[in-house]
Amino acid sequence: MKIMKDVTEAIGNTPMVNLSRITKAFGVEGNIFAKLEYLNPGFSKKDRVALQMITEAENAGLLSPGQTVVELTSGNTGTGLAIVCACKGYKFIACMSKGNSVERARMMKALGAEVVLVDQMPDSVPGQVSGEDLALVEERTKQLVKELNAFRADQFHLESCNHAHEYNTGEEIWEQTDGNVDVFVDFLGSGSTFSGCSKALKKHNPAIRCYIAEPATAAIYAGKEITDLGHKIQGGGYCMDLPLVDKNIIDGYVQITDDEARGTARRLAECEGIFTGFSSGANVCAALKLLATSEKGKNIVVTINDSGLKYLSTDLFEDM
């Protein structure tokens, strides 16, 4: 491998593994192929989005040298943006809810970002960021963009976020599996991974079925009754409309509880040596549920979104 000009060239082309041990442990028929996105430089799939947003903005003349970049984040997109901005010479300001794990804020600061922490709603619980909490972060983000005449790296609206996964992640999945994909399932955060990968895979084979995973208590896309916005699956399940999600490519829905996401993340560490977070646990749990029911015997692809190191202050690996 050649010497890279900077660490942004290490983003993408992550390995894929067959989770044969966990499928055996759960007694299901079929395969779960997991794309190890936590092996990106910022330990998450959001490095891809960060690089694509900044690159496309530069190419379109929307981001000028010396301009500040601002974005709201649960931590992963902010980490990716901190890395990309450090390499490209932009100041980056991350706005994040105090409900997210402290490791994320510390990592962004270490990478040179300024981190603005926003209080949660009075009835919110630390570690459980709701759509209402995110709305407060959005308000503060907009204020900073206006005050600083900054570029908004808007992960919930910029089409470049979908492009990151449509042009790259999805194509890598197709190549790494030799096209042997029946199902793709993804826990919804901003929605770009689901939409981008689904579009890429369906271009190759329209018969591939694409499912979204949501918190059991806040499954808005599945049309379920919302019983609790304060779930623990950080980085998604905000119970809000996501502009980047193309509803026409959704083939089904899977609901995941906090305990299921946590338990599956723990089993991934124990069975597969994969140390990851809540949303990755939700992804694999959703795949296991599908293999046990409607997709028995099929090949299901998921992403392993980020590193478990970002959750050491939470209860994810507590008392193990």
Residue-wise pLDDT for 180-222, tens only, equals 999 999 999 999 999 999 999 999 999 999 999 999 998 999 9
Cα(99)–Cα(200) distance, integer angstroms: 34
- Whether residue 188 is found in the same domain as residue 250: yes
Average pLDDT over the chain reads: 94
Mean of the pLDDT values across residues 247-275? Answer: 96
**Is 142 within a domain?**
yes
- Whether residue 114 is found in the same domain as residue 216: no
The H-assigned helical ranges of 33-158 are 46-59, 76-88, 102-110, 131-148
- Whether residue 196 is found in the same domain as residue 306: yes
**Is 2 within a domain?**
no
Q: What is the pLDDT of residues 58-73, one digit of tens each?
A: 999 999 999 999 999 8
> Can you read off the two tokens belonging to residue 212?
């979204």
- Name the least confident of 1-15, 16-30, 113-127, 294-308: 113-127
Mean of the pLDDT values across residues 282-305? Answer: 98
- Whether residue 31 is found in the same domain as residue 101: no
- Whether residue 34 is found in the same domain as residue 50: no
**Is 317 within a domain?**
no
pLDDT for 102: 84
Q: Cα–Cα distances in Å, from 140 out to 113, 136, 137, 151, 272?
A: 16, 6, 5, 14, 40
- Whether residue 185 is found in the same domain as residue 127: no
- Whether residue 222 is found in the same domain as residue 301: yes
- Whether residue 122 is found in the same domain as residue 238: no
- CATH number where 11 lies: 3.40.50.1100
pLDDT at 1 over 80: no
Q: Assess whether 46 carries a catalytic annotation.
A: yes
- Whether residue 75 is found in the same domain as residue 181: no
Cα(188)–Cα(237) distance, integer angstroms: 6
The parent domain of residue 50 ranges over 46-152
Q: Determine phi and psi for 199, rounding to 5 degrees.
A: -60, -45
Last residue of a domain, one of 152, 185, 213: 152
- Whether residue 17 is found in the same domain as residue 59: no
> Can you read off the two tokens belonging to residue 79?
């980490």
pLDDT for 318: 78
Count of domains observed in the chain: 2
Question: Taking the model in full, what pTM does it have?
Answer: 0.93
Q: Assess whether 160 carries a catalytic annotation.
A: no
Please, which pLDDT band fits residue 129 given cuts at 50, 70 and 90? Answer: confident
Catalytic residue, candidates 45, 46, 298, 310: 46
Cα(29)–Cα(293) distance, integer angstroms: 10
Strands 114-118 and 92-97: parallel
Catalytic residue, candidates 279, 280, 298, 307: 279
- Whether residue 127 is found in the same domain as residue 52: yes
The H-assigned helical ranges of the chain are 20-26, 46-59, 76-88, 102-110, 131-148, 159-163, 170-176, 192-204, 258-267, 278-292
- Whether residue 270 is found in the same domain as residue 181: yes
pLDDT for 124: 82
CA–centroid distance for 141 within its chain: 20
Please, which pLDDT band fits residue 133 given cuts at 50, 70 and 90? Answer: confident
